[in-house]
Structure 1
């Protein structure tokens, strides 16, 4: 196969192959596309392109990224995209070499994920019950929060749930995760109750819309926007509003911190890592193991805060 005539055609063909052959998620493709376009723009300023770039140029680009103050994780992600596009180009015969193959990345910062303790989650769930301008919104918001904490779903998985997955008072939900992989997640009794209440209200609203000539939505959380369902961005803003109402710092609360709370609370109560890995949809157990460090750090904090031997003013 002959090489495309421009670097941007290289990127387009590479991303199409990622989607077709590996089932790369849309967000992954968008991230690769942004990173590679930044690299190509840099190459153009150096009067080069993907066809002519060599190892020295790639390393110079990474030095430039560092000088711009980009985080280690961002630089590591950009190098990963560059490595993959050059590997693809080599395999397709567009280049006779792979200039990125021996370049080592900067590594990732060892930051533990932010999480929430049980009382904070309880306050968020309580606040969700009164968050919203109408009874319909309050039922929806309660259902969203209960499902998120009960299942540990990614926010994209949650807002994109089809309504068919929730029919029949299910004990489990079938979730479509990254790369098109499916998994089952169990529902807690409070989540099942919130789901049942929301379905009744949602269906009544959908029936009313159909009588007015609107098409029925296939999503559990319908929206009038282009996607047809509540967007990740809207839910992100919504959860911040609920945090304020709950008296929990909004800086600590995102859809992903509820996912982290789900995992750390399970681990603290005796769940094994393999089970948590399955529930979260992690491809690699090493990703799940980070929660053991979160738990260790939290236990250490509790000892320092509450153990009598940790108090500096104790009597000898």
Structure 2
């Protein structure tokens, strides 16, 4: 780290902060490395400007942000960098390294108003791998992984996944879901998804009765949606994924990937439980080339008209 010796107050502050992220927040090693680089970049900038990090200065921060934007960094990287610096100061204020100050002005530039991009299949696999490599007990890892596989593999809403009861096990090839407006629909269940759910249920130390909700919190009560949202938020930060990635994004990805693979939009509408086809169309983010390819391959007159 530039601008401070290993025994300086800033170095002690930084070291204490990183230890806290590792021990209390249980950040993965690559996330800690990213946060350390982000804060070191900021401290190095201040050193070059002959400025000090204590107290935080709005003008210095905006100048730093401008230099980062000039490097054409992605919005997710900028957002993570700002988040790291703000977290560094918040920790410092709580532990006496810096005086308490309003940091509401310390925020990244606004994201351009774009249609949210689809979450690639590779990112979904990476998310599941992050869960596997976490420091949680095995049963919690199994639970989290199975839940996310249900959202992506079956296209469920988070509320629908959390409303599954123990009586619905073992899962068969089809699962009956009670959706919005108390309307029921049947969705196919991939073997990998069923296996993940069965493993999660078998390893859970809290075994619910038949009509009780299947998913349990770390204390044994019913799992709530906010816990799953926090899980995705943590993984999103670790991987530097866009802010629009939420549990619901996995449902969007389910629909988009089916359509991209040649799936029928009406069938996807039924799988999602949408009353209107227009709602399904908004869910699917497939580019024009993919749509054209599906059209040419499936339209009964496509080959005839091409002659």
Question: 2-side partners of 1:298 and 1:123: how far apart?
Answer: 26
Counterpart position of 2:182 = 180
- Pairs aligned (count): 179
Q: What runs of 5+ residues in structure 1 fail to find an aligned partner? A: 1-109, 301-316
Shift of 1:217: 7.2
- 8 Å CA contact 1:113–1:260 kept in 2: the answer is no
CA 1:242 to 1:224, structure 2 compared with 1: closer, same or farther past 3 Å?
closer
Of 217, 221, 227, the residue aligned with 1:234 is 227
How high is the TM-score relative to the length of structure 2? Answer: 0.52
Q: Secondary structure at the match of 1:295?
A: coil
Question: 2-side partners of 1:174 and 1:201: how far apart?
Answer: 24
Q: Secondary structure at the match of 1:173?
A: strand
- 8 Å CA contact 2:143–2:215 kept in 1: the answer is yes
How high is the TM-score relative to the length of structure 1? Answer: 0.51
Q: How does 1:196-215 map to 2 (within 5 A)?
A: 196-202=198-204, 205-207=205-207
Q: What runs of 5+ residues in structure 2 fail to find an aligned partner? A: 1-112, 292-307
Question: 2-side partners of 1:126 and 1:206: how far apart?
Answer: 25
Shift of 1:270: 0.6
Q: Secondary structure at the match of 2:193?
A: helix
1:275 aligns with 2:267: yes
Q: How does 1:224-303 map to 2 (within 5 A)?
A: 228-245=221-238, 247-249=239-241, 251-291=243-283, 294-296=285-287
Show CA shifts across 1:226-280 (max 9, x none). Answer: 9x521111110011223344x2415142011111111100000011001100111
Shift of 1:143: 0.6
- 8 Å CA contact 1:264–1:295 kept in 2: the answer is yes
Q: How does 1:125-144 map to 2 (within 5 A)?
A: 125-131=128-134, 133-144=136-147
Q: Secondary structure at the match of 2:177?
A: strand
CA 1:271 to 1:153, structure 2 compared with 1: closer, same or farther past 3 Å?
same
- 8 Å CA contact 1:139–1:194 kept in 2: the answer is yes
- 8 Å CA contact 1:223–1:229 kept in 2: the answer is yes
CA 1:216 to 1:175, structure 2 compared with 1: closer, same or farther past 3 Å?
closer
Shift of 1:298: 8.2
Counterpart position of 1:121 = 124
CA 1:132 to 1:271, structure 2 compared with 1: closer, same or farther past 3 Å?
farther
